[in-house]
Structure 1
């Protein structure tokens, strides 16, 4: 199911945890892991260099750019070397790659649809996330393959929660997790569905209980694992957030279909995926 595992490496605390997940999954699934460091070209552009020159007391900064570029290249080499060493020590099949560009664009273009990308929830340069948006979210939006977004703590994946609403992206997530869980040796997962008018309109026959309708659909996709269904009532974003937070010690991974609404609807109504990405205290696997 997974050909390669690509891990975004930037030296941050979250990135180190992403490395741990990449190595663990590489060994568990017997798939190669690729450590990728993208040198963000925004750090080599005029405003950043000008601010850096000012902070260092320079009045002329035109010849500072090559020095900054050299610094980031050396730093990238160190980070990738450390990752390769960690892989060797833990017995994972590892390669490394380095590139210049916009992080989300370069990382997603390296990946094939059959790959898995792993990135930390927060990056090394939070000031850019504040101004330009989260790199993790940008990767999840642009990626052709599933994206695992890690938190600041590693835990072996043994207990999985699937958020299911019956729509296309959610069905893709169920199909994916069926194989993913089986490959990890997991025999059963939990499923949550938030019952509201949209859910009922999506897949319930007239008068049919939501739990029965969900079970009827999922038995076609979760064919290799058992599943337990929990029905919640309320607004999907709030109920999913609350359920994950209340049960964060129970689950090692939450799985969602990524960005099911159009961008226009998201601008008006907001995105459930984006909301849960920001709020979840446990890793998220986002499936297109």
Structure 2
């Protein structure tokens, strides 16, 4: 049950749509929404900032660290004001948390006391995009150990009518199925269940049957299909062909050797899709 949603906030261009996804989903699930903004300590370290000035041919600025800190603090205050306005607009409960430190660590710590994290793939000065598509994304997901909805930079509006779940029978895929079932059942969304028949799925027909039985028991209408091919390509093509608005998938590879890393399929989807994705782990 999703009772509390955390949304990662910064000053990037797609924050409006990221925040909208968090609040709209909260309304669907009758959840509260908490917001977190992290001031990256790297930006408060003068030599790091001064290197930028030197690289552009500009002279050093006296007391640069204080100037940068003041600017970042003002950004945090603006984000807090916007978040509080959204709480009133959507009539949901929640709190805003201003943190300072390592971005991925602080977000992960806050997410531990929430049930779902919503975050974008484009962050201010690439800090958030480094988390999501760079080497530290695995650390964030592993540290959170909670479902994550990733809203890509290319997503320009909120719209959810049909959801595709890529199901392989794993524990993570079952968690994604449970979360999606909660939303689909209460709000009449359409659900597509896709099983990619490859080396990671022992019995594709049985796997689809298991998903179908769970959905039938919860009185959820669904369509199912088995396809064969490269997983990320099949998922993206099926999502496009069936006009889905969101993709849900377990976040890790089924290979035990890859338990410490985000699954290659999920990473490829994050890099290619224009749809929001639910990563369950």
- TM category (shorter chain) comes to 0.7 to 0.9
State the 1:82 CA deviation.
Answer: 1.6
Residue 236 in structure 1 maps to residue 231 in structure 2: yes
Q: Which residue of structure 2 lines up, in the alignment, with residue 207 of structure 1?
A: none
Alignment of 1:5-154 (within 5 A): 5-54=5-54, 55=56, 57-59=58-60, 63-112=63-112, 115-126=115-126, 129=129, 133=134, 139-151=140-152, 152-154=155-157
Tell me the TM-score normalized by structure 2. 0.85
Does the residue aligned with 1:193 lie in a helix, a strand or coil?
strand
Q: Answer yes or no: is the 8 Å Cα contact 1:161–1:251 preserved in 2.
A: yes
Gaps of 5+ in 2: none
Tell me the TM-score normalized by structure 1. 0.83
Q: Which residue of structure 1 lines up, in the alignment, with residue 170 of structure 2?
A: 167
Which residue of 198, 201, 211 corresponds with 2:200? 198
Q: Answer yes or no: is the 8 Å Cα contact 2:118–2:148 preserved in 1.
A: yes
Which residue of 141, 154, 159 corresponds with 1:156? 159
Question: Per-residue CA shift, 1:151-185, capped at 9, x if unaligned?
Answer: 332223221110011222222222232223224x2
Q: Answer yes or no: is the 8 Å Cα contact 1:111–1:117 preserved in 2.
A: yes
Q: Answer yes or no: is the 8 Å Cα contact 1:162–1:191 preserved in 2.
A: yes
Aligned equivalents of 2:235, 2:149: Cα separation in 1 = 18
Q: Answer yes or no: is the 8 Å Cα contact 2:251–2:263 preserved in 1.
A: no
Q: Which residue of structure 2 lines up, in the alignment, with residue 254 of structure 1?
A: 247
- Structure 1 window deviating more from structure 2 (150-159 vs 66-75): it is 150-159
Does the residue aligned with 1:13 lie in a helix, a strand or coil?
coil
> Cα gap change, 1:64/1:261 in structure 2, threshold over 3 Å: closer, same or farther?
farther
Q: Which residue of structure 2 lines up, in the alignment, with residue 281 of structure 1?
A: 274
Aligned equivalents of 2:200, 2:37: Cα separation in 1 = 41
Question: Per-residue CA shift, 1:75-120, capped at 9, x if unaligned?
Answer: 1111221221233234333321100112221112112365111001
State the 1:261 CA deviation.
Answer: 4.1
